[in-house]
Structure 1
Amino acid sequence: MRTWAILLGGLLVWAGHFFALYGIGEFAGESAASRGAVLLLTASGLAADAVLAWRLLPLSRAGEFMRWRARVALGGLALSALAIVWQALPALIG
């Protein structure tokens, strides 16, 4: 179970960010408060990705399977960070 949590951590952060942004877009409209909420949510999602990546660094020096698991998880975290920024851009620049 721990391996799945490590591998999918970044993707879970991304999914949470996506659903929260959908809720903001659906119910809050295009006000300044909703843009602030999007900014706060995006910053917290990126911070969560950074914390998860920082926690994975000791695993990258362990055995072969743990190194592989850490590399795959870091790839998922990088994808998550990119997707979080991409999803927030329309609300922040529009």
Structure 2
Amino acid sequence: MKRWGYILGGLIVWTVHFLGVYVIASIADVVADDGHPLSRAAVGVFTLACLIVAGGLTVVAARRWRRGGGEMGFENAIAATGGAISAISILWQGLPAVVG
């Protein structure tokens, strides 16, 4: 189970980001307006936090992948690739909400 968490770490962060942005926008829409500056700031901070986590996971996996390591090589490659795709996707989802 630990290996699956490592392999899917970036994708899990992406999923958490997607749900978090949706929750922030839903709450902002009920309370005030989804374009309210506070909701945009919340999305921006949450996006930045998720980017840092996904980027960190990607860097760790890429370093392990470069070092090599037998049976873990494939898992490191998948973790690094998934983390990079997740970081790009988090940025892609969060930027329009922040920019408006």
Q: Provide the TM-score with structure 1 as the length reference.
A: 0.90
- Aligned position for 1:90: 96
Deviations 1:42-71 (A, max 9, x none): 110010012212332453224222111111
SS at 1:33 equivalent: helix
Per the alignment, residue 55 of structure 2 pairs with 50
Structure 2 unmatched ranges of 5 or more:
29-33
Aligned residue for 2:77? 71
Q: Percent identity?
A: 37
- Could you say if the C-alpha distance between residues 12 and 89 of structure 1 is closer, same or farther in structure 2, counting changes exceeding 3 Å? same
Query: What is the total number of aligned residue pairs between the two structures?
Result: 94
Matches of 2:2 and 2:18, distance apart in 1: 24
- The 1:58–1:83 alpha-carbon spacing in structure 2 relative to 1, beyond 3 Å, is closer
Contact 2:13 2:50 in 1 (8 A): yes
Separation in structure 1 between the aligned mates of residue 45 and residue 63 of structure 2, nearest angstrom: 29
The 3 A distance-change label for structure 1 pair 67 and 23 is same
Q: Give the Cα–Cα distance (whole angstroms) in 2 for the partners of residues 64 and 87 of structure 1.
A: 35
SS in structure 2 opposite 1:81? helix
Distance 2:73 2:51 in 1: 23
What pairs with 1:1-94 in structure 2 (closer than 5 Å)?
Answer: 1-28=1-28, 29-60=34-65, 61-94=67-100
Question: Structure 1 residues 57-66 or 28-37, which shifts more?
Answer: 57-66
Unmatched segments (≥5 aa) in structure 1: none
How big is the alpha-carbon RMSD for the aligned residues of Structure 1 and Structure 2? 1.4
TM (norm. structure 2) is 0.85
- Between the aligned partners of 1:50 and 1:87, the Cα distance in structure 2 is 15
